[in-house]
């Protein structure tokens, strides 16, 4: 029997091909180990040094927490299903799909929130800082980015619109079938990419209007020079965010809609699924390296560890 495309419940004797099985085992195991190590370490550094008091770091900490949760839930399910493939659409299939893709939605919303908050902070000046300095506004944003994705997933979960279709070569039931799948992909891509591009363009325009250039940074007063460097860092971060989103998310999001019968090959679909999930590690690495306070916090953590070792 072919392992391509969606199947019905009348396929009890399906066996995963050796190549697909190998991709599942290597991909899920690698991402599980690296995802836990990278995210748990970064979360630990931020909490230990209390860097979360700044809103941008708090949003980043939340994204790392979501990445860690998604890895801990999604990868063991993927590994389990590589040994015992899904052969029917039962309640466990629907529930696991609901949770996994709900968490993916929260990740995308969090990326959008980070980019918009960065734009507001740079382009709107004092007004932007006031918005995100209020605890109520920050909490409302975090609640919203959890409610929206899971409310979206409740439609295929309850089959009001769409369904979680069984696709044996994939590690979970997917919500990309039919018109709902097209809507979900288009909505996700349009909203997230639009927010990233809008924020990036807004920050660039603000920096250009202020006539502060990289080569002139050393001639600026200390306070303005620090502000300029922070703004430039935000631009670099948003460029990398948009690039990584396009490279890692776009193929996996479009493939189930453009190639529902896996005519391009089952292996390709599975590979891009794990490429998409590598974002759980890549995002954390990006913010840990590019966010000035988090990067300095990690350096301080290692310096303290080294000092403790020497003193001990």
pLDDT by residue (tens digit) across 274-288? Answer: 988 998 998 888 888
Q: Sign of the C-alpha dihedral, residues 44, 45, 48, 54?
A: negative
- Give yes or no for a contact between 238 and 195, defined as CB atoms under 8 angstroms apart: no
> Residue 4's pLDDT is what?
40
Residue 76: name the closest of 27, 38, 113, 126 by CA.
27
HSE toward the beta carbon, residue 298, CA cutoff 13 A: 16
**Residues whose CB is less than 8 angstroms from the CB of residue 20 and which lie 6 or more positions away in sequence, other chains included:** 3, 82, 169, 266, 267, 270
The answer to the question of residue 249 being in a domain is yes
The answer to the question of residue 5 being in a domain is no
The Cα–Cα gap between 192 and 195 comes to 5
pLDDT band at 246 (very low <50, low <70, confident <90, very high): confident
Split into its structural domains, the chain has a count of 1
The answer to the question of residue 262 being in a domain is no
> Residue 311's pLDDT is what?
38
The answer to the question of residue 261 being in a domain is no
Angle between helices 91-123 and 222-258 (to 10 degrees): 150
The answer to the question of residue 303 being in a domain is yes
Residue 281: name the closest of 71, 109, 74, 97 by CA.
71
Question: How far from each other are the two terminal CA atoms of the chain, in whole angstroms?
Answer: 63
The answer to the question of residue 9 being in a domain is no
Q: What is the mean pLDDT of residues 101-113?
A: 89
In angstroms, how far is CA 6 from the centroid of its own chain? 26
The Cα–Cα gap between 236 and 42 comes to 20
> Taking CA 288 as the corner, what is the angle to CA 41 and CA 126, rounded to the nearest 5 degrees?
125
Tokens of 115: 């980019």
The answer to the question of residue 272 being in a domain is yes
Q: What is the mean pLDDT of residues 92-106?
A: 90
**Residues whose CB is less than 8 angstroms from the CB of residue 37 and which lie 6 or more positions away in sequence, other chains included:** none
> Residue 72's pLDDT is what?
95
The Cα–Cα gap between 206 and 228 comes to 11
> Residue 15's pLDDT is what?
56
For residue 200, what is the domain's CATH number? 1.20.1070.10
Model confidence, pTM: 0.80
The answer to the question of residue 208 being in a domain is yes
Q: What is the mean pLDDT of residues 222-234?
A: 63
Can you give the residue range of the structural domain that contains 48?
A: 18-254+267-311
N residues, the chain: 312
**Residues whose CB is less than 8 angstroms from the CB of residue 212 and which lie 6 or more positions away in sequence, other chains included:** 220, 224, 228, 231
């Amino acid at each position: 029997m072919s392992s391509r495309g969606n199947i019905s419940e009348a396929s009890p004797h399906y066996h995963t091909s050796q190549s697909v099985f190998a991709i599942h085992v290597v991909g899920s195991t690698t991402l599980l180990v690296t995802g836990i190590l990278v995210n748990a370490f970064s979360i630990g550094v931020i909490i230990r040094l209390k860097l979360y008091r700044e809103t941008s770091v708090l949003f980043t900490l939340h994204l790392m927490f979501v990445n860690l949760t998604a890895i801990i839930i999604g990868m063991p399910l993927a590994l389990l299903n590589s040994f015992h493939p899904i052969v029917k659409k039962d309640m466990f299939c629907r529930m696991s799909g609901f949770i996994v893709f709900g968490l993916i939605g929260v990740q995308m919303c969090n990326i959008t929130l980070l980019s918009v908050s960065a734009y507001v902070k740079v382009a709107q000046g004092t007004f932007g800082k006031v918005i995100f300095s209020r605890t109520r506004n920050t909490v409302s944003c975090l609640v919203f980015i959890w409610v929206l994705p899971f409310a979206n997933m409740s439609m295929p979960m309850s089959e009001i619109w769409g369904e979680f279709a069984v696709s044996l070569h994939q590690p979970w039931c997917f919500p990309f079938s039919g018109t709902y799948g097209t809507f979900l992909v288009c909505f996700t891509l349009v909203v997230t990419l639009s927010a990233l591009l809008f924020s990036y363009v807004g920050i660039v325009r603000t920096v250009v209007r202020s006539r502060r250039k990289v080569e002139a940074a050393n001639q600026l007063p200390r306070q303005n020079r620090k502000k300029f460097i922070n703004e430039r860092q935000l631009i670099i971060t948003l460029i990398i965010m948009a690039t990584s989103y396009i490279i890692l998310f776009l193929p996996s999001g479009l493939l189930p809609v453009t190639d529902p019968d896996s005519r391009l090959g089952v292996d390709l679909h599975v590979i891009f699924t794990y490429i998409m999930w590598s974002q759980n590690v890549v995002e954390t690495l990006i913010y840990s390296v590019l966010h000035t306070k988090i990067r300095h916090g990690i350096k301080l953590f290692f310096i303290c560890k080294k000092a403790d070792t020497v003193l001990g």
